[in-house]
A and B are shown apart, each in its own frame.
Chain A
Amino acid sequence: METLGKYFIFLGKLFVNTENFKTYFKLTMDECVNIGINSIFLVSLVSFFMGAVTTIQTAYNLISPLIPNYVISLVVRDMTILELAPTIIGVIYAGKVGSSMSSGLGTMRISEQIDALEVMGINSTSYLVLPKILGSLITYPVLVILSGLLNIVGGYLAGTLTGEITPFEYIYGIRYEFNDYTVTFALIKSFVFAFLVSSISSFKGYYTTGGALEVGKASTAAVTQSVIAILLADYLLAQLLL
């Protein structure tokens, strides 16, 4: 409970004694590059293969003359939009970006760089963490959209090249009874997960004490707690919004 209280106080500090807009704009754009652009390759690779494997495994489980082939791509579509793109990529995002945020801030803390900001009269929480959260909120939903697209493309290529499904059946299944609310739901999840990963990881890094060993521990804790938060939020959002 004490840690939770400290986390909320930490979030409150983001919005007091802030610097000017120009400063935050530049820092946020830098973070968008660090967080978003540098994650595109990993997210693309994982998404493409995730889509391919999902298609092959769904086809393997649905061999029945009673089930039409387009159901394969329909399953891939709904799994991708509802779960794989926002949640599984969220877990990967926590591992890559969350650990980087935490170790970066932890190193700044133990090398007194955060103290140097405070002594200058700069709100270090706001200056260092707010751009990370904003950058995450801007780029993670874009990564989720990219992931969804590449999942479906990966599934298409794997399904059609192996002959499990024809191109027409795949496209038909993708479009069959499409409910656009699922995309809205996925985007809501992506904003929530982006906030959770960036704020929890920053929190763990910001309050690192000790030396290099503790920076590593904080980074591990940041990933673990971010993943737990993602899974809990995933369940709560599904209960509330579906």
Chain B
Amino acid sequence: MIRIENIKKSFNGKEVLKGISGTFEKGKPNLIIGASGTGKSVLLKCIVGLIQPDDGFVYYGTTEFSLAPRNDKTEIRRQIGMLFQGGALFDSKTVEQNVMFPLDILTDMQPAEKLDRVNFCLERVGLAGQNGKLPSEISGGMQKRVGIARAIVNSSKYLFCDEPNSGLDPLTSIKIDELIMEITEEYKITTVVVTHDMNSLLGIGENIMFLHEGEKKWEGHKDDIIHSNVKEFEDFVFASKVMQKLK
């Protein structure tokens, strides 16, 4: 479980996060949603430690991340897997080398053992047999899958996904969402997904946090959306005519 308390962050005097608190539970996908520029990605980067918050606390279990000694911080980071918006695969490495990378650096596993683990993860994300391809030789959806395989290869306890559906067609997006959901439930990991995709919201929104202009405006389950009674949230969710009809 991850708990955040009163996270604040400003850039050049502009307050991007205005004291966000919340809990991300284990074994189900936790969604951070909101329109572009509301601070979702900044909040995610504050949680994983890529950005230092101006104020507030991030707890991984019972350990406060920003105040933890360097070794503890490194230990927590080594339990984190992250899927970046653009995949962030290493261009010069093959699919296999990309997925194997955390094992090469962070473990003492034997080469055969590492290869077995990589093949298992690639099979799990539906990319068996793609080992020798370079990131430039595979589609955007496949790159996201490789990113997920790399994120879980080291048996991560925490999975963070920054806009996992961006740039993907609706069908591939749904498949990526399902994969995230399955992996989260199967390995009982704490998953945090930043998105503004409505399919994701309605498909895997077990625990949703809605941000608007740097503030948390609503929190709940996807089934509670219809009863939210928060104007900004309703404006966001029911922006399209299709969603209005559904409502």
Binding site for B on A (CB under 8 A): 16-17, 19, 23, 107, 111-113, 115-116, 118-122, 127
> Given the complex of chains A and B, what is the CA–CA distance between A179 and B73 in angstroms?
55
The contact of B80 among A17, A113, A119, by CB within 8 Å, is: A119
Q: A17-B70, A121-B75 are in contact. Are A112 and B80 (CB under 8 A)?
A: no
Q: Do A119 and B90 have beta carbons less than 8 Å apart?
A: no
Residues of B within 8 A of A (CB): 45, 48-50, 70, 73-78, 80-82, 84-86, 88-91, 101-102, 104-106, 160
A119–B70 CB distance below 8 A: no
Given contacts A17-B74, A111-B86, contact A23 B80 (CB under 8 A): no
Which residue on B lies nearest to A110, using beta carbons?
B86
A-B contact pairs, 6 of them (CB 8 A): A112-B85, A113-B89, A113-B90, A115-B84, A115-B88, A121-B74
Name the residue among A17, A119, A122, A127 with the largest chain B CB count within 10 angstroms: A119
A109 to chain B minimum Cβ distance, whole angstroms, is 11
Complex-state Cα separation, A87 to B76, whole angstroms: 46
Partner of A120, one of B70, B75, B80, B89: B80
| CB < 8 Å A-B pair total | 56
Pick the contact of A121: B90, B104, B106 (CB < 8 A).
Answer: B106
Give the docked Cα–Cα distance between A138 and B140 (Å): 39
Known: A118-B50, A121-B106. A112 touches B78 (CB 8 A): no
Interface contact A122-B90, CB-CB below 8 Å = no
Contact: B75 with A112, CB < 8 Å?
A: no
B88 touches A111 (CB 8 A): yes
Q: How far is the CA of A17 from the CA of B77 in the complex (A)?
A: 13
Docked CA distance A116–B49 (Å): 12
Please measure, in the bound complex, the distance between the C-alpha atom of A42 and the C-alpha atom of B82, giving whole angstroms: 41
Given the complex of chains A and B, what is the CA–CA distance between A112 and B82 in angstroms? 11
| Chain B residues with CB under 8 A of A23 | 104-105
Report A-chain residues with C-beta under 8 Å of the C-beta of B86. 111-112
B163 CB to nearest A CB, Å: 11
Q: Are B77 and A119 in contact (CB under 8 A)?
A: yes
B105 touches A120 (CB 8 A): yes
Residues of B close to A121: CB separation below 8 A:
73-78, 80, 106
Q: What is the CB-to-nearest-CB distance from B135 to chain A, in angstroms, rounded to a whole number?
A: 10
CB distance from A115 to the nearest CB of B (A): 6
